[in-house]
Structure 1
Amino acid sequence: MNLRDKELREQAIDRVEKYQTVVNQDPYRLHYHIMPPVGLLNDPNGFIHWKGTYHLFYQWMPFKTGHGAKFWGHYASRDLVRWRHEEIALTPSDWYDKNGCYSGSAIVENDLLHVFYTGNVRNDEGDRETYQCLAVSKDGISFEKQGVVARLPKGYTAHFRDPKVWKKNGRWYMVLGAQTERLEGRAVLFTSDNLRDWSFLGDITGSNTDQLDEFGYMWECPDMISLGGKDVLIVCPQGLKADGFRYQNVYQSGYFVGELDEGKPEFKHGEFTELDQGFDFYAPQTTLDESGRRILIAWMGVPDQDEQQHPTIPNQWVHCMTLPRELTLKENKLIQKPVQELKTLRREQKTVEVSLCQAAEQLDLDHPDSAELYIEPSHIEEGFEISFRGAARLIYSKADGVLTLERNSCVDGRVESRHCSLNELRDLNVFLDSSSIEIFVNGGEEVFSARYFPYPGNNDVSISGRKETVMKVTSWTMS
């Protein structure tokens, strides 16, 4: 640990202690989601299950609620539900990462935890340099930096980052998000046999290639996984234009299903599908846990999308993670379900049969700022809507086959909306926290994730029907 590293760690700890009371008194502080102890949280990093413990590192700016020279913060859990904040994993303290230890991933080799990340460097004129770096840990807590292991190849700008590493047939591979000098978003591939010397193989897919037309000026946070006998590239393209219900956020997160040929290299794939239909979802990362499940977690936010208007900022913190989700692949579509471990939080189950005809019915929730709902419609004549604490509404139109999530903007209070098309509505699984909502539709075929900020004290959750609607509603307090 160099002197700069020690200074940065002490300053971060001091800031956490200074604002701990202010942060914890915020009514929008979440009950069962991961948040920063202070400052700004964004991308999940190095998500891995090792020796019975889930490690989730994250991009952390402890000194302000804006972006800057990021640290790697660290949470650990035995059950994906109860998380413990660990000591800082990485600080921006060396020449190759002095302006930020940017996003990356983790693998285990020789009983050591290896994390790969992007070192961000800027000169006095603001010009960027980028390096792919390695750090190693014996215990998953303290890390020793190994320095630069891969450098920027020709033909790309310094927007070249977010390494995700995996092993196949005895060789290591690293996929990164990139931008060509022609300002085209790409996913690129490196390979290594020792984790320290990496060779550039080339593009595997991207904007203005044989498989895609113009498709964004930068691709971030790639994650190549194998699922259901297929290869799946999860990635965040920047620069897509809105198209009907699609691509409504500033930047997108989604996936391609296909087959990766590392030798060429080439990833043959189908169309891009968004992972989440809501307002706040970005930089998803997955891990294969020790039971064989593929688990995903994402940042419940989007870069450059009203984040500096969040009402938590006066209380010195901003952003959170989504709930962890188990992934399966069905007919080339990723299905996302909340992990089973979340059921251990359930308390005070209530089940009611709701029969509606226009008039609204109030749901009897003891703690609507920390609750789970499971809704099973048995008859929908025309549609219904659910109002959440006066700050969000879920609206279903059977005739149009459209499910809509509305919320009040934290910028100006105006109503904004996101939509998805459904052939039918079979069930809804809704997770309410003090300032977040996640809605799993039809067993996870679609998901809406959003931050929302109800007026403190407004705890009303109600359902109203458009003509006759009959449904069973089961609710739990999440303790």
Structure 2
Amino acid sequence: MNRLQKANEYIQNNKMKTTNRPYFHFSPEIGWMNDPNGFSFHKGKYHLFYQYYPYDIVWNDMHWGHASTEDFITWEYLPVALANDKAYDANGCFSGSAIEKDGKLYLMYTAHIDPNLGFDKDESQIFERQAIAVSEDGVNFKKYELNPVIGEKQLPDGYLICDFRDPKVMEVDGVYYCVLSVRNKERRGEIIMFKSNDLLEWHFHSSIYQSKFEENTLLECPDLFSINGRDVLLFSEMPCDPIYQQEKQNTTSYVIGKMDFEQGVFTAEHKGLLDHGQTFYAPQSTEGKNSERLLIGWMHRWHQTMPPKEYGFNGMMSIPRELLIKNNQLIQSAFIDHEAHFTAMFSRDAIKLQNETVEISGEGIGYLTLSVPRGSNTFTVELNKDDEKSTKITVDAQNNSISYNSDYGNQGLITIHDAFKSDINKIELYIDLHSIELFINGGEKVATFTAYYQNKGKNISLSSNDNIELKNVRFKAFRG
């Protein structure tokens, strides 16, 4: 039995054992999941591939899981697309992307070699090269017989093959380009670009973005796309070496600028943080059905407590976000159909708070929105609430500050401040079994939080020690 057959049979025979999966955030049928891969719209459906290890809830030999959807709520789980079954990818099929060409779906991924599988790292034994797999039907993939297509021969001097991964492929005016993450010989992160006429034969084109030496940063999972004539480069940032783990968090950033593909030059104009929480990483975008730019990311807090083993799964994706540019800033709004999947449970045009608590709902799972009038005082939204515990989101409208503190998951106090171009005027919260996604001012800022704590409370309430009136308070429960 080959590795693909083994993985698919294991999933079918064991997937019924998983429990406590989220309601409207994508999760694997069973096992471990991380980075979204190959996010694409192909033949009328959105396809999501993902880093996958079906046999346990911890990271190990990376496969590519695969699912498709039309609404991002109802998913069809498809057979595992890739397994590490070749000499060049023996220790993992790492992250990559998908692109359609001549009606076929091409996957480009990082073929990973590390005989120690990262647990006793020896960089001299680690090789990351780029490989291709092709499908006629979008489900069954065949690896290209001349893989890998980008390796030592194509990688210029000055870069380390041990950290060379995450290809994101795009087509511009009939030419294919690929951005890749790489570590340079100064041991810092850089994003480089390759060029091809046929997706199979690639040549180094240029270096388009470099982290500063003093930032002590490695860049991962680059993505490059255009919105209304502006170019956007995404990448995830992590410590370049273990000694910097205490000073550098894993985050995801965006840079708005201008990409000259012919010359291979990216001119950066504005950098921002894509998510202000601590549980959003390795996002990938695609052009949607109606030419929207859609984004989905992995919701995971580094070094957090894992889910209980009896859950049988580990990993969730964010809800998809539509991206726009406004006032030189990336705006993210939830791309989800409220009317089809959420039912109105609470609706008040105004709620006055003064040293009191108002109960909104006992449903727990759903969508909460409210408006904050100009000049408002401080108030707190409590989620996952029972008699003793809750998740508190405190909004200090006068000082344009929002803080998050939860009794679940030991995340500690997280504060968002000095980051708003305008007063805080609107709060939106998507609340699922293990996650909260917070959208501020229609997506001017977003923050994502996760906790796999069992038996959270279900009540939702508003409270304030000041005199305040909130407007347009609405709660919709998720109904599937």
> TM-score, normalising length from structure 2?
0.90
Q: SS at 1:415's partner residue?
A: coil
Tell me which of 187, 191, 195 is aligned to 1:187.
191
Query: Within 5 A, what are the aligned runs for 1:68-467?
Result: 68-123=60-115, 126=122, 127-146=125-144, 147-152=147-152, 153=155, 154-157=157-160, 158-208=162-212, 214-239=214-239, 250-302=249-301, 305-307=302-304, 309-352=305-348, 353-365=350-362, 367-368=363-364, 370-378=365-373, 381-389=376-384, 390-408=389-407, 410=409, 413=410, 415-421=412-418, 422=420, 423-453=422-452, 456=455, 458-467=457-466
Amino acid across the alignment from 2:151: R
Contact 2:4–2:82, Cα closer than 8 Å, also in 1: no
Amino acid across the alignment from 2:299: M
Please report how far the alpha carbon of residue 207 of structure 1 lies from its aligned counterpart in structure 2 after TM superposition.
1.8
Amino acid across the alignment from 1:151: G
Amino acid across the alignment from 1:192: S
Q: SS at 2:137's partner residue?
A: coil
Please report how far the alpha carbon of residue 167 of structure 1 lies from its aligned counterpart in structure 2 after TM superposition.
1.0
Please report how far the alpha carbon of residue 13 of structure 1 lies from its aligned counterpart in structure 2 after TM superposition.
3.0
Amino acid across the alignment from 2:477: T
In 1, Cα distance between the equivalents of 2:215 and 2:190?
A: 9
Amino acid across the alignment from 1:221: C
Contact 1:165–1:172, Cα closer than 8 Å, also in 2: yes
In 1, Cα distance between the equivalents of 2:289 and 2:62?
A: 30
The answer to which of 149-158 and 131-140 deviates more is 149-158
In 1, Cα distance between the equivalents of 2:435 and 2:163?
A: 31
Is 2:27 aligned against 1:35?
A: yes
Root-mean-square deviation over aligned CA pairs: 2.1
The answer to which of 130-139 and 115-124 deviates more is 115-124
Q: SS at 2:214's partner residue?
A: coil
The answer to which of 449-458 and 138-147 deviates more is 449-458
Match of 1:244 in 2: none
Structure 1 unaligned spans of 5+: 242-246
Structure 2 unaligned spans of 5+: none
Q: Flag the 1:121–1:323 CA change in 2: closer, same or farther, 3 A.
A: same
Amino acid across the alignment from 2:286: T
Q: SS at 1:59's partner residue?
A: strand
Contact 1:61–1:69, Cα closer than 8 Å, also in 2: yes
Contact 1:175–1:222, Cα closer than 8 Å, also in 2: yes
Q: Flag the 1:335–1:408 CA change in 2: closer, same or farther, 3 A.
A: same
Identity, in percent, stands at 27
Please report how far the alpha carbon of residue 473 of structure 1 lies from its aligned counterpart in structure 2 after TM superposition.
1.1
Q: SS at 1:467's partner residue?
A: strand
Q: Flag the 1:285–1:428 CA change in 2: closer, same or farther, 3 A.
A: same
Q: SS at 2:266's partner residue?
A: strand
Amino acid across the alignment from 2:5: R
Q: Flag the 1:473–1:105 CA change in 2: closer, same or farther, 3 A.
A: same
